[in-house]
Amino acid sequence: MKPAPFRYVAPRSVDETLALLAEHGAEGKILAGGQSLVPLLNMRLARPQVIVDINGIRSLAYIRRKDDHLHVGALTRQRAVEESATVRRQVPLLWEAIRFVGHPQIRTRGTVGGSLAHADPSAELPAVAAALDAELVVRSPSGERALSPGEFFAGYLTTALEPTDLLTEIRFPLLPERTGTAFVEVARRHGDFALVGVAAVVRRSDGTIAEARLAFTGVGPGPVRARGAEGRLAGSAGTSRVFADAAREAAARLDPESEIHATAQYRRDVAATLARRALELAWQRSGGRTR
Amino acid sequence: MPTRWFGERIPRNEDPRLLTGRGMYVDDVRRPGTLHAAFYRSPHAHARILRIATDQAKALPGVVAVVTAQDLPERIRGPLPKLIPHPALVHHKTQVALAGEVVRHVGEPIALVVAESRYIAEDALELIDVEFEVLPAAVDLEAAAKPGAPRVHADMADNIAAHHIQRAGNVEEAFAKAPHVFRERFTMDRGSSSPIETRGVVAEWDPRSHQLTVWDSTQAPIRIRNYLSDLLGLPQANVRVIAPDIGGGFGPKIMMCYPEEISIPWAAMMLERPVKWIEDRREHFVATNHERLQIHDAEIAVDTDGRILGVRTTYLHDCGAYCAYGLTVPIVSGTTLPGPYKIPNYHAEYRAVFANKTQTSPYRGAGRPHGVFVMERLMDRVARELGIDRAEVRRRNFIQPHEFPYDLGGLIYQDGVRLVYDSGNYPEVFRKTMDHIGYADWAAQKARYRREGRRVGLGFAFYVEGTGIGPYEGCRITVEPSGKVYVATSVGTQGQGHYTSFAQIVADALGTDVRDVIVTTGDSGAFGWGTGTFASRAAVVAGNAVALAAGAVRQKTLQVAATLLEARGDDLELAEGKVFVRGVPGRAVMLGQVAAAANPLRGVIPQEWEGPGLEATRYFAPPSGAFAAGCHAALVEVDTETGLIRFLRYVVVHDCGPVINPMILEGQVRGGVAQGIGNAFYEKLVYDEQGQLLTQTFMDYLLPTVAEVPPVEVDHVETPSPLNPLGIKGAGEAGVIPVPALVASALDDALSEEGVRITEMPLSPSRLREILREAQTAPTPA
Amino acid sequence: MNGDPAHTTPAQAPARVPARRKRRLREPQSALTIRFTVNGETVERTVEVRKTLADFLREDLGLTGTHLGCEHGVCGACTGLLNGEPVRSCLLFAVQAAGAGIETVESLAPGEGLHPVQAAFREHHGLQCGFCTPGFLMSAVALLRDHTVPTDEQILETLGGHLCRCTGYQGIVEAVRAAARTWQR
Ligand SMILES: Cc1cc2nc3c(=O)[nH]c(=O)nc-3n(C[C@@H](O)[C@H](O)[C@H](O)COP(=O)(O)OP(=O)(O)OC[C@H]3O[C@@H](n4cnc5c(N)ncnc54)[C@H](O)[C@@H]3O)c2cc1C
Ligand code: FES
Ligand code: FES
């Protein structure tokens, strides 16, 4: 299980990276934490000609608050996110979810940008990005653009990234007061990719739900937002009944696939359960009490 | 220093080496000029090979050789050795070193590439072009057993390798008269032993001395030596096989021979350079033997008190594409099934079936988990149907302590010997287990959990395990003038702590410190006779050989020391590395001095010394196996919404006779439990209809981690075996055997409201929820 | 914690660069000469870029204490420390370690004797075949360096990143708990 031959280059800056990507086009491949790419290389399931290792670009690793967003550099290690008091305080959903990504020994290398760019259908971070309406900042030789999760995630292991693009930053909008978030998941074992995962955001106005957002992972080709259920939740009372109904409705619209670890029906059923649990938890965290 | 090492919880001699990164595993063997091998393996489950093109691969810089079947010499081109023949095994099919005509499972080796590095060897694999005619594949076990299924071996009329019946008493009569008969179908699916170290072979040929040295991650180095000598046409003395540190075995590392175990040594001879092959994880999943898939139809006949009148089971055993190892697994299933119960009438009948999948052979438990699953599930069923407490049903049927030796009525065990339990105390093991888990007030506790909205079940399962079978093992012990004691035995060690437990036996006999006893295992150059580490036999068979040899060296020591100390042998004692006159510790010689005196430069060696030196070689050949027993009990919580399970407590009570080192024993048990938990809920090898293995990584084949394995409380009962001097019984497989049965019984209990009846393993959250749904929608059974 | 490209040099003269290019771009290489420290010693070697750090440590440096159990990041047998943090050496290329500090199991107790974490593994029977052990040790050492009094949750979280097929983990958990007490840092 050894990688096929490739050539390797480690640029020092974003500009140099973009130039290299432009030069090598589809033959090039960005190497970030390597926790998804290198297994594929070792198994020879990916065969790029040129590996562009961005680990030396220090300027791509940061966690910064700017206005009403938290800016996370694409090369920020998942471990750094987990250890960041800022993230924990400002974007608790990200903090909660990242601890479901593999194991500490994986998160020391794995990056936030890498997880999003890889777009595994069972990965946690895409659901977080979707639930928070994060902006994904992409640089290409022609300039910079900020994509919404809906624009960024294009399907199974696919994104809007072109071979010449570099994801540079993820901007997580800070949530207003009285907003609670929760990430829950079911995996075969601790640390595995999710069979089903749910990210929930609930904003409260007294006893009613002012706004709710729900994003799933593991139940589609990419992260799935439950817009219908979200719409129904807005303005409703924050009761167990309401959450359960919304969760069921959201799950009923999912179209997951059966594979060796779980059937489609299991995924749909558990999606309903987890959505309910996540909504209730988020509601509680917003300061509300469920009745 | 304790007065007796046997029974002490002492840390292991081998640990410092392993902890500091100074272990010597096969991949750590570094010989100058080593070449690296990789195999082109079949991508198809069943296909005819039409053409193999290797020119491009050969032309790649760094490639030294590309070998296909036609390049092999005649003597190793044909089917590899048959291991354990059996009269019922009419089609004893074995694989070939390299497939040249037909491939019968995904992963079967077709071409061998030898190159300057493994990287280059893998590059070359991509340049090999094989043209196949894909043939229909037999994959599903039941389908493969049917007439008209695609045939795995063209020279057979069907896929039935063996059809074998064992009986005791008169089952037909028992069932005809029985007031109650309960039937069920039980399935256990395929799994992999998955040691963290894969297999590997390093071979070096010295053309001048005609000496072949092979480092092999095998559990049976002596047998590999014997086969290599035979297949390569070399005297046994010119072949040395070393099983160095082995990173876990659990059964499948004993095959004699895997294709690679013959092709790599041959390549080293042909190329006159050392060749190393280290299996990678994906190869391991397709090229190292699997186990576990069996489908049992079973029925039990009982009287109105729940006393067993008879048991009948008819089952299919999944061989995979070949059955080199023989019928051990299905035989062990059938002979383990009766367990601790008196079953006057018994019928076990199986068909061993070929299918286009990786071959199977014993994996820790080796058919025992199946037998225990079937029997313990039937006992739970009886309890439920008759409304008798499930512990009470068992108590009514246990073989009693005074009934040993207990003859199972003519069943023949895997060693070909009539099945007779040597000793045991099943009621006591059971009582202790029930006490530990708190069975007496479980009903109240369960109700309490239920009130909290929690679904918790108590499960337990009992097993009897045949261990320590023959034919024999041997041992040579030598005391050197340094006072150090060298022990050589051929059983390989894969982490079971033989370096320590054998040393404990020797240290007691010779009155020396256990750290001064240096054990060598698994090197045919150090000790050339033996069978191997399997069937929980190393401690029993080799351990007793060690004890016998140590006793002989002790005798010799006393004889020689008597001369030196001018005392009578009877008056001497051995302790603290010295021999001294009892009551006069000052009159003493060091053990090393005695060793030196036993090998004098001048003078005569008395006749009764039987030669020079403090050295003895002894063999132990048990007449039959020693039967260990045990019971596991656990509390398992189920989240019915997600299908996830969690162990709240896990208790093991085990009886393997006197325990050499409780720490090592408990480690064996705990490790086994972890594997059993894998078998029950996480680990499943999944094939698609074309015979492609879908679970070829550790991302998909799920070994339990620390998060899935609970702490295990271990307690012991000690019923010595009368069949060997140390009285010991094996313990290597005890941990794994009853776990699937236990998990099933706990889940039944947790989900009793829904009437769930678990009849299959392994489960998964998804499957458990499916079963739950089926139970809820099913009409309540009459 | 990243490898530093400043510590690499092309192993052979770069292939001829097309003359007309506007700005000179770094040329991708098949082999590089790298400098970094392994167990405190500076190492400078030329290595094929596709060689994993694990293979480099084992083959080029003879540090065979780092084991390979899966080569896809799951088992943890290959875990070593990169600038003090546990990483999978099967998922890193040796060239990525340029400029970094690597620690392997061989560094824990350089002379005779055992490191307190190793001693605790022995005392609590935290190993059987020993194949998984170096990885567990390195993760445990990293954890205990950062946390003198780790919580059980932290211990389980750390050990959860490793597979052991022999022990059932209990001895390993107990060893790490004990080492937290005995290791005088
Ligand atoms: C044992 C194990 C368990 C894991 N468990 C989980 C889990 O439970 N959940 C989970 O979500 N993940 C899991 N992962 C994978 C996760 O840890 C990876 O970190 C993540 O998927 C990829 O991030 P990376 O930085 O390692 O990216 P890499 O592997 O380096 O790259 C992944 C892909 O993204 C591209 N890429 C990376 N960075 C950029 C960028 N800035 N711009 C454009 N393209 C880029 C690469 O070219 C490549 O195609 C696990 C991995 C392992 C080995
Ligand atoms: S070998 Fe690196 S994690 Fe298994
Ligand atoms: S001790 Fe053998 S794998 Fe852990």
Q: How far from B189 is each of A271, B316, B376, B379, CA to CA, in Å? A: 28, 12, 18, 22
- Nearest by CB to C91, from A12, A19, A35: name it: A35
Domain count, chain B: 3
By CA distance, what is A15's nearest residue in C?
C25
Does B677 reside within a domain? yes
C68 CA distance to ligand 2 middle (Å): 5
Any CB–CB contact under 8 A between A287 and chain C? no
Q: Among C161, C171, C132, which Cα is nearest to B25's?
A: C132
d(CA A277, CA A244): 8
pLDDT tens per residue, range B274-315: 999 999 999 999 999 999 999 999 999 999 999 999 999 999
pLDDT tier at B121 (50, 70, 90 boundaries)? very high
Q: What's the rounded mean pLDDT across residues B340-346? A: 98
Q: Tell me, using a 6 A CB cutoff, whether residue C78 lines ligand 2.
A: yes
pLDDT of residue B427: 98
Does B166 reside within a domain? yes
| Secondary structure of C47-76 in HEC code, one letter for each residue | EECCCEHHHHHHHHCCCCCCCCCCCCCCCC
Domain count, chain A: 3
CATH of the domain at B129: 3.90.1170.50
pLDDT tens per residue, range B1-39: 556 899 999 999 999 999 999 999 999 999 999 999 999
User: How many C-beta neighbours within 10 Å does residue A22 have?
Assistant: 15
Does B4 reside within a domain? no
CATH of the domain at A241: 3.30.390.50
Q: Cα dihedral sign for B768, B771, B772, B773?
A: positive
Q: Among A159, A131, A163, which Cα is nearest to A147's?
A: A159
pLDDT of residue C1: 40
pLDDT of residue B491: 81
Q: Are residues B423 and B477 both part of a single domain?
A: no
The preferred substitution site among C133, C137, C159, C170 for testing ligand 3, maximizing ligand atoms within 8 Å of CB, is C133
Q: Are residues B653 and B565 both part of a single domain?
A: no
Q: What's the rounded mean pLDDT across residues A146-168? A: 96
Q: Are residues B474 and B549 both part of a single domain?
A: yes
Q: Are residues A76 and A163 both part of a single domain?
A: yes
For residue B710, say if its preceding peptide bond is cis, omega within 30 degrees of 0. Answer: no
Q: Are residues A198 and A145 both part of a single domain?
A: no
Q: Is 90 exceeded by the pLDDT of residue B109?
A: yes
The preferred substitution site among A14, A101, A167 for testing ligand 1, maximizing ligand atoms within 8 Å of CB, is A101
For residue B631, say if its preceding peptide bond is cis, omega within 30 degrees of 0. Answer: no
Q: What's the rounded mean pLDDT across residues C154-175? A: 98
pLDDT tier at C6 (50, 70, 90 boundaries)? low
A201 CA distance to ligand 1 middle (Å): 25
Which residue, B588, B603, B620, sits at the end of a domain?
B620
Q: What's the rounded mean pLDDT across residues B60-76? A: 97
Amino acid at B704: P
Bin B253: left if φ > 0, else alpha if -120 < ψ < 50, else beta.
Answer: alpha
pLDDT of residue B313: 98
d(CA C12, CA A19): 23
Please state which CATH class domain C116-184 belongs to. mainly alpha
B652 φ/ψ angles, rounded to the nearest 5 degrees:
-125, 130
Any CB–CB contact under 8 A between A141 and chain C? no
Q: Are residues B719 and B607 both part of a single domain?
A: no
The preferred substitution site among C90, C131, C162, C165 for testing ligand 2, maximizing ligand atoms within 8 Å of CB, is C90
Does A2 reside within a domain? no
C73 CA distance to ligand 2 middle (Å): 4
B211-216 and B239-242: which strand pairing?
A: parallel
Q: Is 70 exceeded by the pLDDT of residue C11?
A: no
pLDDT tens per residue, range A81-98: 999 999 999 999 999 999
Chain C: closest CA distance from residue B707 (Å)? 6
Q: Are residues B348 and B412 both part of a single domain?
A: no
pLDDT of residue C8: 67
Q: Tell me, using a 6 A CB cutoff, whether residue A172 lines ligand 1.
A: no
Q: What's the rounded mean pLDDT across residues B767-782? A: 83
Chain A: closest CA distance from residue C110 (Å)? 24
Written as six digits, the tokens of B661 are: 């080192």
C126 CA distance to ligand 3 middle (Å): 9
| Secondary structure of C123-178 in HEC code, one letter for each residue | HCCCCCCCCCHHHHHHHHHHHHHHCCCCCHHHHHHHHCCCCCCCCCCHHHHHHHHH
Does A1 reside within a domain? no
CATH of the domain at B537: 3.30.365.10
pLDDT of residue B588: 94
pLDDT tens per residue, range C14-71: 444 444 445 678 899 999 999 999 999 999 999 999 999 999 999 999 999 999 999 9
pLDDT of residue A290: 63
Owning domain of residue B144? 33-382
Closest-CA residue, ligand 1 atom 49, reads: A118
Task: Show residues of chain B in contact with C64, CB under 8 Å.
Answer: 21, 25, 27-28, 30
Any CB–CB contact under 8 A between A139 and chain C? no
Spell out the domain ranges in chain C.
Answer: 31-106, 116-184
pLDDT tens per residue, range B394-439: 999 999 999 999 999 999 988 889 999 999 999 999 999 999 999 9
Q: Among B152, B144, B154, which Cα is nearest to B316's?
A: B144
Q: Are residues B594 and B698 both part of a single domain?
A: no
Owning domain of residue A17? 7-53
Per the prediction, chain A carries an average pLDDT of 96
Q: Are residues B474 and B439 both part of a single domain?
A: no
User: Which range is least confidently modeled, A45-54, B247-256, B377-386?
Assistant: B247-256
In chain A, % of residues over pLDDT 70: 99
Q: What's the rounded mean pLDDT across residues B192-221? A: 96
B244-275 residues labelled b (16+ CB within 10 A) or e (exposed) = bbbbbbbbbbbbbbbbbbbbbbbbbbbbebbb
Q: Among C169, C159, C71, C121, which Cα is nearest to B677's?
A: C169
Q: What's the rounded mean pLDDT across residues B517-526? A: 90
Q: Is 70 exceeded by the pLDDT of residue C7?
A: no
pLDDT of residue B322: 97
Does A291 reside within a domain? no
d(CA A216, CA A254): 9
Helix ranges, B44-135 (H): 55-59, 118-125
Does B348 reside within a domain? yes
Task: Show residues of chain C in contact with B668, CB under 8 Å.
Answer: 128
**Contact present, C122 and B15 (Cβ < 8 Å):** yes
Residue B761: strand, helix, or coil? strand
**Contact present, B221 and B523 (Cβ < 8 Å):** yes
Lateral strand order in the sheet of B614-620:
B517-521, B485-489, B473-479, B614-620
Q: Are residues A66 and A168 both part of a single domain?
A: yes
Tell me the ipTM for this assembly.
Answer: 0.95
Q: Is 50 exceeded by the pLDDT of residue C2?
A: no
Which residue, A118, A146, A173, sits at the end of a domain?
A173
Interfacial A residues in 90-129 facing C (CB < 8 Å): 102-106, 108-109
Amino acid at B351: R
Q: Are residues B294 and B170 both part of a single domain?
A: yes
Which residue, A15, A32, A53, sits at the end of a domain?
A53
pTM: 0.96
Q: Tell me, using a 6 A CB cutoff, whether residue A36 lines ligand 1.
A: yes
Give which of C26, C56, C147, C151 to mutate to test A binding, by max A Cβ within 10 Å.
Answer: C26
Q: Are residues B62 and B181 both part of a single domain?
A: yes
User: How many C-beta neighbours within 10 Å does residue C100 have?
Assistant: 23
CATH of the domain at A40: 3.30.43.10
Any CB–CB contact under 8 A between C10 and chain A? no
d(CA B27, CA C67): 9
Closest-CA residue, ligand 3 atom 4, reads: C164
Q: Tell me, using a 6 A CB cutoff, whether residue A159 lines ligand 1.
A: no
Does A22 reside within a domain? yes
Q: Are residues B449 and B484 both part of a single domain?
A: no
**Architecture of the domain whose range is C31-106:** Roll (3.10)
Q: Are residues B655 and B616 both part of a single domain?
A: no
Per the prediction, chain B carries an average pLDDT of 95
d(CA A43, CA A262): 25
| DSSP state letters, B415-478 | TSSEEEE----HHHHHHHHHHHHTGGGHHHHHHHHHHTT-EEEEEEEEEEEEE---S-EEEEEE
Q: Is 90 exceeded by the pLDDT of residue B337?
A: yes
Q: Is 70 exceeded by the pLDDT of residue B249?
A: yes
Does B8 reside within a domain? no
Written as six digits, the tokens of B540 are: 């029993």
B644-655 and B713-716: which strand pairing?
A: parallel
Written as six digits, the tokens of A179 are: 């907003």
pLDDT tens per residue, range B542-569: 899 999 999 999 999 999 999 999 999 8
Q: Is 60 exceeded by the pLDDT of residue A106?
A: yes
Give chain A's radius of gyration (CA, Å): 19
In chain B, % of residues over pLDDT 90: 87
Q: Are residues A142 and A238 both part of a single domain?
A: no
**How many beta-carbon pairs below 8 A join chains A and C?**
124
By CA distance, what is A193's nearest residue in B?
B699
Which residue, A173, A200, A232, sits at the end of a domain?
A173
d(CA C31, CA C51): 9
For residue B405, say if its preceding peptide bond is cis, omega within 30 degrees of 0. Answer: yes
Give chain B's radius of gyration (CA, Å): 28
Look-up: residue for tokens 């594949």? B137
Q: What's the rounded mean pLDDT across residues B382-389? A: 97
Which residue, B604, B620, B636, sits at the end of a domain?
B620
d(CA C184, CA C44): 34
Does B308 reside within a domain? yes
- Nearest by CB to B700, from A2, A5, A260: name it: A260
Does A153 reside within a domain? yes
Q: Are residues A198 and A280 both part of a single domain?
A: yes
Q: Are residues B435 and B475 both part of a single domain?
A: no
